[in-house]
Structure 1
Amino acid sequence: MSSASDTRAPLEANHQSPGTPGTGWRRVLGIPSLVLLGLVYMVPLTIFSTYGIVVELTGGRLSAAYAAALVVMLFTARSYGRMAKAFPFGGSAYTYATRSFGPGFGFLAGWSLLLDYLLLPMINYLLIGIYLNAAFPAVPAWLFIVVSIVAVTVLNLVGITAVARANYVVVGLQGLFIVLFVVLASVSVTGMGAVDLLAPFTGVDGAEGFSPIMAGAAILCLSYLGFDAVSTFAEEAKDPRRTIPKAIMLTTVLAGLIFLALAYISHQLLPVGSFASPDSAAIEVVGKAGGNLLVAFFTSAYIAGSLGSALTSQASVSRIIHSMGRSGVLPGVLGRLHPRLGTPVVPIVLTSAVALLALVLDLTTVSSLISFGALVAFSVVNLSVIKHYFINGKQRGPRGLLNNLLLPGTGLVLTLWLWTSLSGLSFSLGLSWAGLGLVYLAVLTRGFRRPTPHLELEGA
């Protein structure tokens, strides 16, 4: 187990696992590219995908729910940054848990994290199918889904540079829509006369209690998963011990401000607690701001955002699978990079195959599974900071007490609070997945008689 002093060893320009051919990444990502990857993963317009559902759940207090989620995520994002500085390698919560608690615990954390990343592209494909089928009813939704999966897979096979470049286009299109929406919505709100500036936080008449706000925050925390994704690109980042923590915090703060701004202006524009259809409430809000023309632009920007998120999330999960393949907890073929492309071809293709389940699963089921996996990962990373720095590293002075116990401990408590807001479906499906992982680990270790394989990383 590494001590705190071990984590400052210099990194090679191209990290290569000892004895493992074809595992060297190219360090090409700076802070701007990393932040863009995180923002595209989140999809700035994702606020509109759950807008009606959370507005009704919180009694019109969507802004309050986003603020609560942001507070929780800032503590947890800081913990991700701390662990990325200690272990600047791919694998995210899997790597951090393995290095802090051991390979067995790390495997179970990575298994839960896989649940998130394998299913997140699927949500985007489902939304693409739904929106494009609504715009072009003659074309079946499944065709849009399949074409999207193929396009995203090809771009990821080409390499992370192609993904990063595509992200500039995606973020630019969404940014243009956000500016137009805010301007048009502000003009409409100004013409409505007196405005209650606190209404987005106090909600509609009769809204009371903090529990609905936390229930909404439990759903909305998924909007912040982009900072988690940033940590998986550590082996392709320049000077990762410096860039990854900064990119994680910047991504979280920027996304939180965007979400809060859009939630606030949307409520002022259409201050209602119920809609004709919660699933399509975003259309009502956008339509009131700019009519059918803005709705058409919104649909285009949303589709682009969903494609960008699918692109980034597939890239992210392929790197987690690659890390687990290198360690031996998954088949070794998953831990190799293509000698010419420099990308994990087999994990990328595997992720695309799983994404085809979007043809048969629904949004509710997929969202429930993701909620469970996300909170497992958040809890594990907060615990890892305490274990690695405070317990193993013995950094327990006044500053260490704050940084290595109180702050990650607060993040853990807030995350556990969100756990209490999960639905029964989330728990039943999530625990089933965790049980499957435990069975696989038992088989892998011959009934826990053999040690769990793990990856020896340089400098770790």
Structure 2
Amino acid sequence: MSERALAAGDAAGEPTLRRSIGPFQLFAYTLGGMLGAGIYGLVGRAAGQLGSAVWLGFAVAMVAALLTGLSYASLGSRYPRAGGAAYVVHRTWHRPLLTWMVGLAVMASGLTSVATQSRVVAENLLRLADIPAIPPVLLSLGFILLIAGVVFRGIRESMWMNILCTVVEATGLVLVIAVGIPWWGSADLLETPGAEGIGASFLLQGAILTFFAFIGFEDTLNVAEECHDPHRTVPLGIISAMLVATVLYMAVAITAVSVVPWQELATAPGPLAEVMERAAPWLPNWIYVAITVFAVANTALLNYVTASRLTYGMARHGLLPGVLGRVHPRTRTPHVAIGALLLVVIALMLAGDITQLASATVLLLLAVFACVNIALLILQRRPGEPPGGFEVPAAVPALGALVCLALLGNRVAAGDWRAPALAAVVLAVIGLLYLVVRPRNVLPAS
């Protein structure tokens, strides 16, 4: 909806989302979305491919990810709407089916992630408390209900929980760096597994692997409608968080290969746990299990917030049933959307191991990123489109689209065939749902 429409709705007594997110909160929100549990295992996989030069992989991946991040920052400053990528695509092409596909693809990625993470939290809690008598499914269910309750309670409460979890996540990485600094300088940071050395092909492969450590910035666009001064806050939050994440990732990578030879790091079941065991044997093992719980819980929280705002935004434009666009008068959250998504997440959790499905939806995110970059290119050239508070040259979204398409092509061609096949099935199901729902009162994106 337009700013005028939102104001009119509020004046008419219809509750709207509350603007309460400031620059620091959005920075923490974006950073928390990226500092997920993935980095704790990704360092080992990257070391197996890049050797001691793993830090270079994160540097190149940041440049590649920042292209799309800058596009999201520009779009957030132009159109601070809860629908995120779906709103941008709808405004660009005015094709309800395409908007539906993009919106539900992002939603599917978020919801499968929440369901998967609920199981990871349950497993780690059982390890932490050593209480095998409690069925993991009950812990998963309790975790999901807790996250849904926080999201329903309000955006302020969600932001405070995110800040807490992000601080714990970042502290875990800083702790690795702090105990490993004495080892800096003990390893050749340009040693690679092959004899070809560091070239363009080597850096590209490293970027392909480490790019996914930066996924999470896209969540920010969905809470832009709840930001104070979004034209400034959204770009500042996305860019600053990506830069801080890069510094942390590179420092952790240097520390890891300095403390543990990259050949051993690549085969370690818990790479950073192995680093801590060697650099700080006095540290209790349970600390990193606890940090993992916070990291996974934070990712689940942010995915749930994103999915609820996306559902709300699509409902407000007539692409989903209008009841999903209702806002609770006291909490100022899309309570109906939150409740509906709760049922979907519980069903996914009860379905069992859906890690392959979660991997498939990550592929869909790359396609969404390419669409968003192309949309910005079109909107920049459309007469009458209002400029945002943060504009980028056309080369940024153009290169961002090419990078995302190249990554998508590489993952499809070189990865496990099951993930692309599942992604195709998910798209087919989303298309069939559109034929069933048949949105008839789709509003223009104003």
TM-score by length of 2: 0.87
Closer/same/farther in 2, CA of residues 370 and 65 from structure 1, 3 Å limit:
farther
C-alpha change, 1:130 and 1:155, in structure 2 (3 Å) is same
Structure 1 position 412 matched with structure 2 position 401: yes
* Alignment-derived partner of residue 379 in structure 1: 370
Map 1:235-314 → 2, pairs under 5 A: 235-273=225-263, 279-291=269-281, 293-314=283-304
2:99 is aligned with what amino acid? G
The amino acid that maps onto 2:287 is: F
Matches within 5 A, 1:225-244: 225-244=215-234
Q: Deviations over 1:297-339 (max 9, x none)?
A: 2221221122122122211110001111222211222111112
Give the Å deviation of 1:83.
Answer: 1.4
State the partner residue of 1:182.
Answer: 177
* Structure 1 residues 176 and 280: alpha-carbon distance in aligned structure 2, compared to 1, 3 A threshold: closer
Residue 123 of structure 1, CA deviation:
3.4
CA distance in 2, matches of 1:233, 1:392: 27
Indicate yes or no: 2:315 matched with 1:322: no
Contact 1:30 1:238 in 2 (8 A): yes
Change (3 A) 1:82 1:453: farther
- Secondary structure of 2:442's aligned partner: coil
CA distance, structure 1, for counterparts of residue 12 and residue 57 of structure 2: 46
Q: Percent identity?
A: 23
Whether the 8 Å contact between 1:123 and 1:366 is mirrored in structure 2 is no
Which range moves more in the overlay, 26-35 or 352-361? 352-361
Which residue of the other structure, out of 135, 143, 149, is the alignment partner of 1:148? Answer: 143
Most deviating of 219-228 and 69-78: 219-228
Match of 1:368 in 2: 359
Q: Is the alpha carbon distance of 1:260 and 1:442 closer, same or farther for their aligned partners in structure 2, counting shifts above 3 Å?
A: same
Alignment match, 1:195? 187
One-letter amino acid matched to 2:300: A
Q: Which amino acid aligns with 1:382?
A: N
Measured after TM superposition, the shift of residue 213 of structure 1 is 5.6
CA contact (8 A) 2:77 2:235 kept: yes
CA separation of 1:292/1:393 partners in 2, compared to 1, >3 Å: closer, same or farther? farther
Task: Let me know the Cα RMSD of the aligned residues.
Answer: 3.1
User: In structure 2, do the counterparts of structure 1 residues 130 and 115 end up closer, same or farther at CA, with 3 Å as the change threshold?
Assistant: same
Stretches of structure 2 that go unaligned for 5 or more consecutive residues are none
Aligned residues: 435
Q: What's the counterpart of residue 3 of structure 1?
A: none
**Residues 15 and 312 of structure 1: CA distance in aligned 2, closer, same or farther (over 3 Å):** farther
113, 116, 125: which is aligned to 1:120? 113
Q: Is the 8 A contact 2:186 2:258 kept in 1?
A: no
Q: 2:341 and 2:54 mapped to 1: Cα distance?
A: 33
1:448 equivalent in structure 2: none
Alpha-carbon offset, residue 205 of structure 1 = 5.1
How far has the Cα of 1:76 moved from its partner?
0.3
Can you give the 5+ residue segments of structure 1 that lack an aligned partner in the other structure?
Answer: 1-6, 446-450
Residue matched to 1:62: 54
Cα distance in 1, alignment partners of residues 46 and 171 from structure 2: 25
1:274 to partner: Cα distance = 5.0
Deviating more after overlay: 25-34 vs 171-180: 171-180
Q: How does 1:18-29 map to 2 (within 5 A)?
A: 22=14, 24-29=16-21
434 and 44 in structure 1: CA distance in 2 versus 1, 3 angstrom threshold = closer
Q: CA deviation at 1:108?
A: 1.9
| Deviation of the 1:382 alpha carbon | 0.4
Letter in 1 for 2:371: V
Following superposition of structure 1 onto structure 2, how do residues 76-115 of structure 1 map, counting pairs within 5 Å? 76-104=68-96, 105-115=98-108
Q: Is the 8 A contact 1:132 1:141 kept in 2?
A: no
**Per the alignment, do residues 346 and 291 of structure 1 end up closer, same or farther by CA in structure 2, a change over 3 Å counting?**
farther
Aligned 8 A contact 2:51 2:192 in 1 = yes
Q: Distance in 2 between matches of 1:452 and 1:164?
A: 35
For the residues of structure 2 that align with 1:130 and 1:50, how far apart are their CA atoms? 20
Question: CA offsets, 1:258-293, max 9 Å, x none?
Answer: 222212211222122356865433322232222262
Partner of 2:331: 341
